[in-house]
Amino acid sequence: MVRPGGRSARVQHAVHTAVRELEAEVGRDALTVPLVAARAGVTPSTIYRRWRDLQQLLSDVAVERLRPDAAPEDRGDLASDLEAWAEQFLDEMASPPGRAYIRDALLGDPDGSNAGQCSAYAAEQVGVVLARAAERGEKAPDVESVIDHVIAPMMYRILFRPGRLDASYARRLVADLLA
């Protein structure tokens, strides 16, 4: 049972913060559970008990970092909004740190719930764009179509075919979808 205002929450926050700090300081590959524990001021066994291993901890932190921090920009029409969002999404996700976070999120995650959360974030952002279009009276596809025709192809390339990506790919996918 998680007690929101209590010690558990403090520990979780301290550990997450320690991971982010150390990731920046010593690099991902040098991270170890004892190192994180020392920085967070907890004992290693606490981390092992709560997260089971370093992978799952990194996965948790990665999901946090993949959460969008702002609503998609409003450029006045669906095509522009979607194009801008897709370009930014691709740009962030295809970057080396972006790819690392995606891999971490997928990795320590037997049941896929962390990865599912990432997908939900993207779907939510797209949902906002589509809802705005609907309010304007524009004809808009549904979220599922955007996932299948825009997000999925971008993700596939990011994960399976690195080095075959640029912003024009995002624009082409959006254009094809809206055609």
Options 12-20, 68-76, 78-86, 103-111: segment touching a second copy (CB under 8 A): 103-111
User: Total binding residues for DNA by CB under 7 A?
Assistant: 27
Among 41, 97, 112, 162, binds DNA (CB under 7 A): 41
Q: Which residue type occupies 110?
A: P
Of 18, 15, 20, 2, which is closest to residue 48 (Cα–Cα)?
15
By a kind-dependent CB cut-off of 5 to 8 A, residue 43 interacts, out of a second copy, DNA, none, with DNA
Q: How far is the CB of 33 from DNA (least distance, A)?
A: 4
What is the DSSP annotation of the chain?
---TTSHHHHHHHHHHHHHHHHHHHH-GGG--HHHHHHHHTS-HHHHHHHHSSHHHHHHHHHHHHHS-SSPPP--SSHHHHHHHHHHHHHHHHHSHHHHHHHHHHHHS-TTSHHHHHHHHHHHHHHHHHHHHHHHHT-----HHHHIIIIIHHHHHHHHHSTT---HHHHHHHHHHHH-
49 binds a second copy (CB under 8 A): no
42 binds DNA (CB under 7 A): yes
Options 13-21, 80-88, 131-139, 143-151: segment touching a second copy (CB under 8 A): 143-151
**In this complex, which beta carbon is closest to DNA, that of residue 72 or of residue 108?**
108
Among 137, 161, 168, 179, binds a second copy (CB under 8 A): 161
156 binds a second copy (CB under 8 A): yes
Among 3, 110, 163, 179, binds DNA (CB under 7 A): 3
149 binds a second copy (CB under 8 A): yes
Instruction: Give CA torsion, residues 141, 87, 66, 75, to 10 deg.
Output: -70
Contact positions toward a second copy, by CB under 8 A? 103, 106-107, 111-112, 115-116, 118-119, 147-149, 151-153, 155-157, 159-163, 173
